[in-house]
Structure 1
Amino acid sequence: MTYRLWTTAAALAFLAGPALAAQDSITLGMVLEPPNLDPTAGAAAAIDEVVYANLFEGLTRFGPDGSVRPALAESWDLSEDQLTYTFHLRTGVTFHDGTGFDAEDVKFTLDRARAEDSANAQKALFAGITDVRVVDPQTVTVTLSAPDGAFPFKMAWGDAVIVAPESAADLATKPVGTGPFTFAEWVQGDHVTLSAYEGYWGQPPEIATATFRFISDPTAAFAAMMAGDVDAFPNFPAPETLVQLEADPRFKVIVGSTEGETILAMNNRLAPLDNPLVREAVAHAINRQDVIDGAMFGYGTPIGTHFAPHNPDYEDLTALSAYDPDKSRALLAEAGVTDLKLRLALPPPTYARRGGEIIAAQLAQVGIQTEITNLEWAGWLETVFKGRDFDLTIVSHTEPADINIYARDDYYFGYAKPEFVALMEELGRTSNAEQRSALNRTAQRMIAEDFVNGYLFQLAKTGVANARIEGLWENAPTQANDLTAVKWVE
């Protein structure tokens, strides 16, 4: 009898233990699997969604409210001529492989990013740098060719994270950063796992293990949430089920905004889309609200240019490309275009696949036929983004304040109008807030009036999480699943 009482007590204690222990692991769902894990050599948003602020850090970083905050640089100064930034670096910082972080790593990173053979997808961020000098191990100066008040903002991008020469060559599959989490494993096609870094310089995370599971199918994503196979899905791909999830006390639905301008991109290099009349005809054939309702179940804000509606400088230009199929037909006739057939390349996200079917039907109503090709993310990057072998595609540009991409002569949709390039150069030289706002508005109107692309909607951030999870971002000022403040609560 004594033995039986002891074992019963032990069993009760054993059962009580896990219930009292704080939960310190989390599984997050993601629609897309990153093609690699190197944010300094890849354009896919899915890379930053895993590694930004978790595994890698930059001199500065974005906060959840979009503000630029200190990161590896605890402060910085600007010279009187506004050409030289002096960054004062944190002490006691190490990379995950144990090597120390100092000013030499900053110089290596910035010189690597701006080099002629750089593989950085956002090389333009570093184009204004003329010199990087190490003053001492904790101080580095960056000299620019012209004043750039947005330079700390540029250094907060995921493409500008600091890496070490000892590990830079293998970041794609063996990422080594200075962040609060280290790389644990990548089971391709299934998940990436990160573990808390014991040597982290800052506030240690409350999450010990974070697993990012890749679930592209909306039905499977809903099933995974219902079954508890994932704890949170920050960018949930099945908005039609949000009402059901919101009614379930186990979950909370998190709806915010993103930097994602969702566009029907047009290849301005290829005939007949090199003709502004044809591009305008395409734009007027699109009923934005039908796309938002049909593909996103009402989640999304219509846009008429490449700028976020929550930005103070935003100008509503949707009327310039309002839905008008009769005008679309008239413009095609004016351009002398008949029997037009265009290739429509669609990447995996729900907004693209569902939205593409709706837009194809709308274009057909004005006499434009489309040949749809569904591409996986790696194939889209290779064929469309790099190879520019497309007519139309649908993609959400989630980088912050990125209207300057229209000035790049090698960019996939091929605009780079000289007047627009000059406008962006002037914006880069301007630090006065009112003048910058005026230039931003001029830029928005220029690309809208040139009908560079079909502007659809600002992507909403629709997330779902276990009701006990706190600290996930409501909005997405950059493409990230920042876990530094995430925790479970009772």
Structure 2
Amino acid sequence: MHGTFRLPLMLLALFLTATVAWAAGEREVTIAQGIDAEFLDVQMTNNIVTLIINGAIYDTLLTRDKQLQIVPHLATSWKLVGDKVWEVKLRQGVKFHNGEPFDANAVKFSAERIQRADFKSPQKGWFGTLDRVEIVDPFTVRLHTKTPDPAMPARMTLMYQMAPKYVAQVGDAQANLKPVGTGPFKFVEWQKNERIVVEANDAHWTGKPAVRRATWRPIPELGARIAALQTGQADIIVNVPPDQMATLQSSKAIRIEKVPSCRIISFTIAQIKGGPLADKRVRQALNHAVDMQAIIDAVLMGNGKRLNSWMPPNVWGYDPSIPLYEYNPKKAKELLAAAGQTNLTLTLQAPNGRWAMDKDIAQAVAGQLTENGIKTTVKVIGEWGAYVRTILDHKTEDIAMSGWCLPSLEPDHWVTPNLKTGEPVSQYANAEVDKLIEQARAEMNADKRKQLYGQLLRVIHDEAPYIFGYQQMDIYGVNTRLKWTPRGDESIRLTEISF
């Protein structure tokens, strides 16, 4: 009798095992981006791709919802209790992946770690107004600022929380290799330049994620990234070339998603190096020598909006009344002649695969500069870590293709890191710009603050520390089995994916 039922029971067990495995596989996703993460210690990066990946592992104090409004996260409430004091109430019952409790000590530790002189975090500029963190009780902190800071709620959307005991126990290097956060996903593995794998944290305070396991794959080459989507090796790919949208959409298994991005692409001019590029007339000439709209139309098929300064239209503080640089080769030559630079030779550096059509756009810009009498060669630096290092070490070529977006959507996070004298990313120094940045970031009256940003952006337009480029249109290829729509802040949140 027992033998009679053994075979059917075995078959049933195998069927159930296969069904569970199939269901788990159906709830796994693979996302292909152009580059690998720089770090998995979230406080060691200001790179959005790295932040996107780390956002699955770590939580911030506040966040932005899908409508890009600031909402509670690890902090449940926040208010001003003095001109320079923000009081923040923390969510209770939250634990790090190693079981360590999240509390006020974690907030204080995380904030002070960024400011450590030996840690060299590129996020220091984000929180330059923060003076100290006061612990009121285990779930209340007060953020004391050096000056009044209207941007503190936006800054809190970038305050990723670290596990104090874990970091102290294993050290900074190991915390980067085996990250521990409070996020909705736990770290599994990192095979450098191959994949990063995370799995659902079912104990997360927001509930169980629909995605059970996710893999982030760096695929720099566009063709390989598209092939991964077409063959089912990737479920979401970024930076789809505009000329490939129709082909991809012809497949029933693939759809295209587009959204105007907070990402802006421009070409940083290394003013701090001195020499010809220190002359404003030369920098203005470079802007007049490039037909940026023609490049957007030809290379991106119109998927981009020209910039008039260093801020995208979807960030508060943008001033649409600032004019665009006109394409005027004659004026460019006149400016160069006035500056005594009639035989200028430059090198332009660009990545490969970081931004949509980056190498192609860089070559188009260099081609137009050369055509208009400014001999320019392109140096492609394919490895993203090496590219970033040239910026942080202030050792870029004469011109460096640059992209910027932060999910805080705070105007100070566009101007301070990139344009304030001495900031890690900044290749520019100007006392007038520094003064306006300080005034704008401390002005509590919204109308006055917006006027200051308008004034600042006009100075930046005139100073031309960039060849001003365009606001990026984020274009994604998506497997139709996923229910997901992109955000305007570039974040790809695994918790927003369902099936």
Partner of 1:43: 46
Q: Which residue of 2 aligns with 1:308?
A: 312
Q: Find out whether 1:467 has 2:480 as its counterpart.
A: yes
Correspondence for 1:99: 100
Letter of the 1:481 counterpart: I
Deviates more, 1:450-459 or 1:420-429: 420-429
1:483 to 2:494 alignment: yes
Report if aligned partners of 1:105, 1:163 keep a CA contact under 8 Å in 2: yes
**1:140/1:45 CA distance change after superposition, 3 Å:** same
Q: Distance in 2 between matches of 1:174 and 1:16?
A: 31
Percent identity of paired positions between Structure 1 and Structure 2? 27
Identify the residue that residue 356 of structure 1 maps to in structure 2: 362
SS in 1 for 2:42: coil
Query: Is the 1:267–1:392 Cα contact (8 Å) retained in structure 2?
Result: yes
Quote how far apart the aligned CAs of 1:187 are: 1.3
* 1:289 aligns to 2:293 (yes or no): yes
Aligned equivalent of 1:380, options 384, 387, 390: 387
Cα distance in structure 1, aligned partners of 2:141 and 2:465: 40
- Of 390, 399, 402, the match for 1:392: 399
Distance in 1 separating the partners of 2:127 and 2:335: 41
CA pair 39-10 structure 1, distance change in 2 beyond 3 A:
closer
Say yes or no: does 1:414 pair with 2:418: no
SS at match of 1:146: coil
Amino acid at match of 1:74: T
Offset from partner CA, 1:382-435 (integer Å, 9 cap, x none): 123323332101121112331233123345453232121111111122122211
CA contact (8 A) 2:202 2:209 kept: no
Q: Distance in 1 between matches of 2:17 and 2:112?
A: 56
Task: State whether residues 38 and 47 of structure 1, in contact with CA within 8 Å, keep that contact through their aligned partners in structure 2.
Answer: no
Distance (whole Å) between structure 1 residues aligned to residue 96 and residue 155 of structure 2: 22
Q: Alignment partner of 1:259: what SS?
A: strand
Paired residues for 1:87-126 under 5 Å? 87-126=88-127
Give yes or no for contact 1:265–1:413 (8 Å, CA) kept in 2: no
Deviation at 1:351, TM superposition (A): 3.5
2:139 corresponds in structure 1 to 138
Report the alpha carbon displacement of residue 253 of structure 1 after superposing the two structures with TM.
1.0
- Pick from 424, 434, 448: which aligns with 1:435? 448
1:214 equivalent to 2:214? Answer no
Residue 441 of structure 1 aligns to a residue whose secondary structure is: helix
Equivalent position amino acid for 2:31 in 1: L
Q: Give the corresponding residue for 1:200.
A: 204
What's the secondary structure of 1:469's corresponding residue?
coil
What is the identity, as a one-letter code, of the residue corresponding to 1:424?
Answer: I
1:268 paired to 2:271? yes
Cα 1:450/1:187, change in 2 over 3 Å: same
CA distance in 1, matches of 2:357, 2:45: 22
Structure 1: 5+ residue stretches without partners: none
The residue number in structure 2 matching 1:167 is 166
Instruction: Please provide the CA RMSD for this pair.
Output: 2.4
Aligned counterpart in structure 2 of residue 225 of structure 1, from 207, 224, 229 = 229
Shift of 1:373: 1.3
Shift of 1:484: 1.3
Cα offset for 1:337?
0.7
Pairing partner for 1:75 from 61, 74, 77: 77
Contact 1:352 1:395 in 2 (8 A): no
What SS does the aligned partner of 1:371 have?
Answer: strand
Q: 1:327–1:40: structure 2 CA closer, same or farther, 3 Å change rule?
A: same
Corresponding residue for residue 416 of structure 2: 404
Q: Kindly provide the amino acid, as one letter, of the partner of residue 75 in structure 1.
A: S
Q: Which residue of the partner structure matches residue 466 of structure 2?
A: 453
Deviations 1:105-141 (A, max 9, x none): 1111111222334422121222222221111111111
Size of the aligned set, in residue pairs, is 479
TM-score by length of 2: 0.90
Q: Does 1:277 align with 2:299?
A: no
Please say if residues 305 and 447 of structure 1, whose CA atoms lie closer than 8 Å, have aligned partners that are also in contact.
yes
Retained in 2: the 8 A contact 1:264–1:455?
yes
Q: Are the aligned partners of 1:294 and 1:358 in contact in 2 as well (CA < 8 Å)?
A: no
Cα distance in structure 2, aligned partners of 1:315 and 1:356 = 26
Counterpart CA distance in 2 for 1:153 and 1:258 is 18
Change beyond 3 A, Cα 1:408–1:471 = farther
**Cα distance in 1 for residues equivalent to 2:348 and 2:320:** 27
Task: Provide the C-alpha distance between the structure 1 equivalents of 2:424 and 2:432, rounded to a whole number of angstroms.
Answer: 16
SS in 2 for 1:370: strand
